[in-house]
Amino acid sequence: MANTLNIGIVAHIDAGKTTLTEHILFESGVIRTKGRVDHASTVTDDLAIERRRGITIKEKTVSFNWGSIKINLLDTPGHADFLCEVVRAFHVLDIAVLVISAKESVQPQTVAIYNLLKKIGLPVVIFINKLDRAGADVERVRKDIAALGIKHAMMRFAGESLSVEHWSNNAGYAEDNLLTLLEFDDDIIAGFESGESGHMVDDIIYKFTAENKIVPVFIGVALQGIGVKDLLDELVRIQRHVRILPQDAPASAIIYKINFNERRERKIYFRMYAGTIRVREKYGVAQKPDDFPEIQIKTLETVSGAKLAAADHVSAGEIGVLTNVDDLRVGDIIGVRCDGIRTVDAVKPIFSADVFPVKRMDKQRLLDALAEMNLEDGQLDFTIDDKSQITIKLFGEIQKEFIRTQLQDKYGIETEFSNTRTIFKETPVGTGRSGPGFLEFTVEPLPRGTGVSYEYNRGVGITGGLTKQMHAAVQESALASLIPSALIVADRGEGVPFRPGAQGWEVVDIRVIFDACNMPGGPRPSAGAFRGEAPWALKQAIQNAGTQVLEPIYYYQIVVHADFCGKTVSEIENHRGNVVSIEDSGAYVKLSGKLPARMYQEFLREFQPLTKNMGSFDTIRVEYEPYSGE
């Protein structure tokens, strides 16, 4: 990838991501005047609701040129309800720029995002922002960065290269940095002894950053543009060490975003990992069925500043955009799958709510709008039950408000939402068998968090004489039936709402074994018959096993004034939570522990007035654990 770098600006809410992006666009000449989040005038917060609330909700991709390279930049949201958008961006990035406010330091959402970055092994550069704010404390941030588990963070100084000569003037950090580098490369000592210039050292830093071994740390003030140029200069130097992508290989690209613009055109954003995609040519889609038609590239665009520009080809490393190609989804791979493509697990919603159109005649339009929103965000899932009630899945209250506002602003549909409910799950507590019957299953519990596994008793193929298609039909139908939906199950009547678990929730952490097939007499059953029977037989096995209900638990961090500590602890305990640690930090205390997600809103109603709105509650992660009861 000769000349492109894809960076994502990620951070906790309000860290200054959009402000940093705006300054970068200004500094690089994309825009002539700088907007401000507080004046609702930035390029990347362009939705009406983003401007009203002063927060980013949807990831935005822009680009600029710096030095000799083109940089595509993804400005992502910081609010936990929109973590999905951040995770989608991970499909695209060469480097993540993690912004941390020098005043608020590392926040729970920083931890959540960093843990995901670590999991996928993406190179990270840190920008400590808001140095101008009263209470900014770089040393504290440095300690918190170390506590994140970043062992090899290196302070980089504004306006100067980190040369050996320079280090002597910045003894404090320089010594730390040197010690860090020595862990990697003995040649550095030789470089020092021979008095060689610091460029060699710099080069090692760039290389190790690209290899995700060290994390350079910059400091600055995004609002005033201080430190931004240094960050960009260094990104250009790091880019030289980012792995070279095969240009001559078959085309390979992953779709990371679908967005309906104001003209209702479907813009499909993809990132190339190998080869080239050209206008007027045809490409397959890697994971679609064999009969999925090739897509014909009619129009092609690249990101150019704050806009899109027509292009006749898009090559490895670049981001491209297709318009109005049906049947493509986020995560689809255009062309062939290649090694460079990262797969990232999506975060899953844990709440749901019913949606009602205020005017009954809007029902179909509401369904169409939700279908469009679901294309943009695959986790925005909705179902219609047999009483035609629409239910959507949610991450939280801010997202709920966003969906309502989007339906109103973009689609002109007024809606009402029910209260938010928690999505529970179930897991078998022992071994269970179905049958005797046409299809027979055994289920067993798996350790928490492992998901679902499927296998078949090798005898099934022989005694039952099952074809490959029949096996595929059984497996697909059995696994799909573990997730509740308004399944239309053949042979058992249409539109039967199918609830898999003994108590109607999604079943997880389960091993499904297809045990036996007892072919009925008469004509050979069709693949459809297998498909129709599998969910019922599996459900019987699950019921016989018995299940335990799981609920989502927030692992939280609360910061409150020490005066409110005692009351906060009792409120947590009143709401079936616990406090596992209390840490003093000046006048404030930091509490951490668990709280059932279903108690969160109720807890907040007590917590906010109790702390005079001065306390913060953040979630570090969510885990499904046994339901603790009413």
Ligand X SMILES: Nc1nc2c(ncn2[C@@H]2O[C@H](COP(=O)(O)OP(=O)(O)OP(=O)(O)O)[C@@H](O)[C@H]2O)c(=O)[nH]1
Footprint of Mg ion on this chain (CB under 5 A)?
A: 17-18, 56
Supply the DSSP string of 150-212, one letter for each residue: -TTEEE--TTS---HHHHTTSHHHHHHHHHHHHTT-THHHHHHHTT--THHHHHHHHHHHHTT
Instruction: Give me 19's structure tokens.
Output: 């402000």
* Among 4, 7, 10, 14, interactor with ligand X by CB under 6 A: 14
228, 23 Cβ separation under 8 angstroms = yes
For ligand X, give the closer residue by CB, 132 or 233.
132
For residues 537 and 373, give the distance between their C-alpha atoms in angstroms, rounded to a whole number. Answer: 35
For residues 273 and 442, give the distance between their C-alpha atoms in angstroms, rounded to a whole number. Answer: 42
For Mg ion, give the closer residue by CB, 56 or 63.
56
DSSP state of 441: E
> Within 475-534, which residues bind ligand X (CB under 6 A)?
none
The reply on whether position 16 binds ligand X by CB under 6 A is: yes
The reply on whether position 55 binds ligand X by CB under 6 A is: yes
Least distance CB 617 / ligand X (angstroms): 17
Least distance CB 131 / ligand X (angstroms): 7
For ligand X, give the closer residue by CB, 80 or 321.
80
Least distance CB 79 / ligand X (angstroms): 6
55, 109 Cβ separation under 8 angstroms = no
Of 66, 65, 55, 60, nearest to 43 by C-alpha is 60
568, 557 Cβ separation under 8 angstroms = no
> Within 217-236, which residues bind ligand X (CB under 6 A)?
221-223
Instruction: Give me 113's structure tokens.
Output: 């995002």
516 Cβ contact partners less than 8 Å away, ≥ 6 residues apart: 435, 439, 440, 457, 459, 460, 463, 464
Which does residue 512 bind out of ligand X, Mg ion, none, counting CB within 5 to 8 angstroms by kind? none
537, 435 Cβ separation under 8 angstroms = yes
Segment near ligand X (CB under 6 A), from 11-19, 361-369, 440-448, 544-552? 11-19
Segment near ligand X (CB under 6 A), from 216-224, 277-285, 379-387, 573-581? 216-224
The reply on whether position 43 binds ligand X by CB under 6 A is: no
Least distance CB 223 / ligand X (angstroms): 4
The reply on whether position 38 binds ligand X by CB under 6 A is: yes
Least distance CB 18 / ligand X (angstroms): 3
For ligand X, give the closer residue by CB, 30 or 274.
30
Which does residue 221 bind out of ligand X, Mg ion, none, counting CB within 5 to 8 angstroms by kind? ligand X
For ligand X, give the closer residue by CB, 22 or 332.
22
Q: What is the largest CA-CA distance in the chain?
A: 90
Segment near ligand X (CB under 6 A), from 34-42, 59-67, 211-219, 474-482? 34-42
For Mg ion, give the closer residue by CB, 76 or 252.
76
Least distance CB 379 / ligand X (angstroms): 18
For residues 340 and 283, give the distance between their C-alpha atoms in angstroms, rounded to a whole number. Answer: 19
146 Cβ contact partners less than 8 Å away, ≥ 6 residues apart: 153
DSSP state of 104: T
Least distance CB 17 / Mg ion (angstroms): 5
Cα dihedral 218, 50, 257, 269 in deg (nearest 10)? -80
Chain centre to alpha carbon of residue 607? 29
- Let me know if 185 is exposed, middle or buried by CB neighbors in 10 A (0-12, 13-18, 19+): middle
For residues 268 and 332, give the distance between their C-alpha atoms in angstroms, rounded to a whole number. Answer: 11
15 Cβ contact partners less than 8 Å away, ≥ 6 residues apart: 78, 99, 100, 101, 104, 107, 110, 129, 130
Torsion 189-192-193-197 (CA) sign: positive
For ligand X, give the closer residue by CB, 36 or 288.
36
Least distance CB 180 / ligand X (angstroms): 27
Least distance CB 161 / ligand X (angstroms): 24
Tokens 């947590």 -> residue:
572
Least distance CB 18 / Mg ion (angstroms): 3
For ligand X, give the closer residue by CB, 11 or 201.
11
* Among 1, 13, 126, 258, interactor with ligand X by CB under 6 A: 13
Which does residue 148 bind out of ligand X, Mg ion, none, counting CB within 5 to 8 angstroms by kind? none
For residues 535 and 281, give the distance between their C-alpha atoms in angstroms, rounded to a whole number. Answer: 42
Least distance CB 87 / ligand X (angstroms): 15
Least distance CB 458 / ligand X (angstroms): 53
For ligand X, give the closer residue by CB, 133 or 365.
133
> Within 65-94, which residues bind ligand X (CB under 6 A)?
77-79
Which does residue 129 bind out of ligand X, Mg ion, none, counting CB within 5 to 8 angstroms by kind? ligand X
Closest residue to bound ligand X by CB: 78
Which does residue 11 bind out of Mg ion, ligand X, none, counting CB within 5 to 8 angstroms by kind? ligand X
For ligand X, give the closer residue by CB, 75 or 506.
75
128, 40 Cβ separation under 8 angstroms = no
Question: How many residues make contact with ligand X (CB under 6 A)?
Answer: 23
> Within 109-138, which residues bind ligand X (CB under 6 A)?
129-130, 132-133
Interface with ligand X (CB under 6 A): 11, 13-19, 36-38, 55-56, 77-79, 129-130, 132-133, 221-223
